[in-house]
Amino acid sequence: MLKDKVILITGGTGSFGKKFTEITLSQNPKKVIIYSRDELKQHDMDCEFLKFRNHDRMRFFIGDIRDKERLSRALNGVDIVIHAAALKQVPACEYSPIEAVKTNVMGASNLIETCIDNGVEKVIALSTDKSVAPTNLYGATKLVMEKLMTQGNSYVGDRKTRFSCVRYGNVLGSRGSVIPVFRNQAKEDGVINITDSRMTRFWITLEQAVKFVMMCLENMEGGEVFIPKLPSMKITDLADVIAPDVPKNVVGIRPGEKIHETLLTEHESAHAREFENYYVIEPLFPYWHGFIDAGAKLPEGFSYSSDSNDKWLDKDKLKEML
């Protein structure tokens, strides 16, 4: 699907962008454009990807999704966009809320308009479980981003651009995940701080996330929110696997943090479909004719949460994944 295509990744120097680029280069794209605002991270990524045979197909474009004019220039001739750029740190978004809105909301709006104007074929935006019934500003901005992206299809008219979203949980080994935090605490402090011992989380690896996004690119009609079926794990099990002999200290839940994660609410499940390895939330607007006759309807009142999940990672499986 990606062969001979020009792909642009916003926030492409992040963990997802790097893994997506690595896998995409093996599929002979015409070009992969990394669009981000940090020149040092771009330099480091450029050096890192020298080892790949198709490095000459990579391009680096310094720019911010807040800058609509610069974004439009970067999108000239692009076929596919993966939207991974965002302010993601919950405390930073709480402390500087308008900055989160400018990047996560207004930046998404800029991307929608410039993709339509430049005739981009497909756009997949990365969302998060925190967008579901959000309890912090980061989650709220991601919820708005989802709404903007899915409804962006209404503005396309007779142009070809299509927008969809992918929503998943914590990414194993990504920048900012709890794993390096636990490891550093064990090494530096000799204790691991757990906010709540009841806490559960969904987990996905970087490679699984990238391959799921590629599957969604292949199947999207525009307007869907795709949700992979993921295993849950207990935060206490993760801490035990990372540092089995280190004491654990329960410090209390942080502002905006949830005990359990939800990827699909009972309200959304009323217009969602279940497939073997994922769910699809269908838009309720006349422009969409996607999976209407495919998949299975979900039972009334169904929700997909990390505490009631039927797939779990035990300590042995966590060790294997780590």
Q: Tell me, what CATH number does 91's domain have? A: 3.40.50.720
Q: Confidence class of residue 256 from pLDDT cuts 50, 70 and 90? A: confident
What is the chain's percent helix, strand, coil content, to nearest 5? 40, 20, 40
Distance, CA of 299 to CA of 218 (rounded, Å): 27
Q: In what order do the strands lie in the sheet with 58-62?
A: 58-62, 31-36, 6-10, 80-83, 122-128, 162-168, 225-228, 278-281, 272-274, 296-297
Percent of the chain with pLDDT over 90: 73
Specify if 152 maps to a domain: yes
Specify if 175 maps to a domain: no
Across residues 258-272, what is the average pLDDT? 94
Q: Out of 130, 142, 234, 258, which one is annotated catalytic?
A: 130
Alpha helices in 4-82 (DSSP H): 15-25, 39-48, 68-74
| 79 has pLDDT over 80 | yes
Distance, CA of 54 to CA of 233 (rounded, Å): 37
pLDDT digits (tens, 9 = 90+) for 135-193: 999 999 999 999 999 999 999 887 789 999 999 988 886 766 788 888 889 888 899 99
CB 152 within 8 A of CB 122: no
Of 92, 248, 105, the closest CA to residue 176 belongs to: 92
CB 162 within 8 A of CB 257: no
Between residues 174 and 235, which one has the greater pLDDT? Answer: 235
Q: Confidence class of residue 9 from pLDDT cuts 50, 70 and 90? A: very high
Alpha helices in the chain (DSSP H): 15-25, 39-48, 68-74, 90-95, 97-100, 107-117, 137-151, 178-188, 206-219, 235-242, 266-269, 315-321
- For residue 285, what pLDDT is reported? 79
Range of the domain at 50: 6-169+205-229+262-303
Range with lowest mean pLDDT among 71-75, 250-254, 266-270: 250-254
Across residues 118-129, what is the average pLDDT? 97
Distance, CA of 111 to CA of 275 (rounded, Å): 30
- For residue 146, what pLDDT is reported? 97
Specify if 31 maps to a domain: yes
Residue 122, SS3 per DSSP: strand
- Which amino acid, 226? F
Rounded to the nearest 10 degrees, how much is the dihedral formed by the CA atoms of 28, 29, 31, 35?
A: -120
Specify if 237 maps to a domain: no
Between residues 154 and 7, which one has the greater pLDDT? Answer: 7
pLDDT digits (tens, 9 = 90+) for 211-230: 999 999 999 999 999 999 99
Structural domain count, the chain: 1
Specify if 235 maps to a domain: no
- For residue 54, what pLDDT is reported? 62
Whole-number average pLDDT of the chain: 92
Of 116, 290, 88, 83, the closest CA to residue 280 belongs to: 290
Across residues 253-282, what is the average pLDDT? 92
Tell me how many helices (H) and strands (E) the chain has: 12, 17
- For residue 179, what pLDDT is reported? 85
Q: Which two tokens stand for residue 32?
A: 């992969």
- For residue 282, what pLDDT is reported? 92
- For residue 158, what pLDDT is reported? 79
Q: Confidence class of residue 10 from pLDDT cuts 50, 70 and 90? A: very high
Specify if 102 maps to a domain: yes
Across residues 106-135, what is the average pLDDT? 96
- For residue 292, what pLDDT is reported? 67
| 291 has pLDDT over 80 | no
CB 15 within 8 A of CB 40: no
Q: Confidence class of residue 53 from pLDDT cuts 50, 70 and 90? A: low
- For residue 254, what pLDDT is reported? 80
Residue 297 among the catalytic residues: no
